[in-house]
Amino acid sequence: MIGAAALVLGVVLGLIIQPTVPAGLEPYLPIAVVAALDALFGGLRAALDRAFDDKVFVVSFVANVLVAALIVFLGDQLGVGGQLTTAVVVVLGIRIFANAAAIRRHLFGA
């Protein structure tokens, strides 16, 4: 509940402040957002599985974001940043889909 409210609050804050992304963070922000979304869906699924743990969620959230950003950073250094970004997005997208399917099964039984 608090999490959902905080999510909405964050969206509203972002809409109000409309911050500009620092140039150095610009390639990593979209990947970080997708990674965080993955962690969020994972957490929701775990909660419905009665396997939710605050610590695990926080660690997985932060680790997801950092690893995703690190992969993209590494790719940029190696000159394959675009391809690695796509790869990360594909992998995270598949995971989000899988988690969403599990959540759907929990909520609708189908």
Partner 1 sequence: MSTSTRGRLRLRILLRPRGTRAQLVVALLCGLLGFALVTQVHNSTSATSRRTARPEDLVRILDDLSSRSDRLRAEIDTLRATRDRLASGQDSGSAALAETQRRATVLGILAGTIPASGPGITITVRDPQSTVRADALLGAVEELRDAGAEALQLSGVGGPAVRLVASTALLDAPGGGVLAGSTRLRPPYRLLAIGDPATLRAAMRIPGGVVDTVAASPGADATITVSNATSVAALQALPRPRYARPAGAS
How many residues sit close enough to partner 1 to count as binding (CB under 8 A)? Answer: 49
Residue in the block written with tokens 């775990």: 46
Least distance (Å) from partner 1 to the CB of residue 97?
18
Token pair in block for residue 53: 């743990």
Binding string, 46-75, against partner 1, x = CB under 8 A? -xx-x-x-xx-xx--xx-------------
* Alpha carbon of residue 46 to chain centroid: 15
- Residue selected from 67, 71, 74, 76 as contacting partner 1 according to rule CB under 8 A: 76
Q: How far is 52 from 105, CA to CA, in rounded Å?
A: 17
Query: Does 7 interact with partner 1 (rule: CB under 8 A)?
Result: yes
Of the candidates 25, 28, 104, the residue with the CA atom closest to the CA atom of residue 68 = 28
Q: How far is 85 from 96, CA to CA, in rounded Å?
A: 16
Query: Does 94 interact with partner 1 (rule: CB under 8 A)?
Result: no
Q: How far is 69 from 27, CA to CA, in rounded Å?
A: 9
Query: Does 42 interact with partner 1 (rule: CB under 8 A)?
Result: no
- Kindly list the residues in this chain that would bind partner 1 in the complex (CB under 8 A): 1-11, 13-15, 18-21, 23-24, 26-27, 29-30, 32-33, 36-37, 40, 43, 47-48, 50, 52, 54-55, 57-58, 61-62, 76, 81-82, 105-110
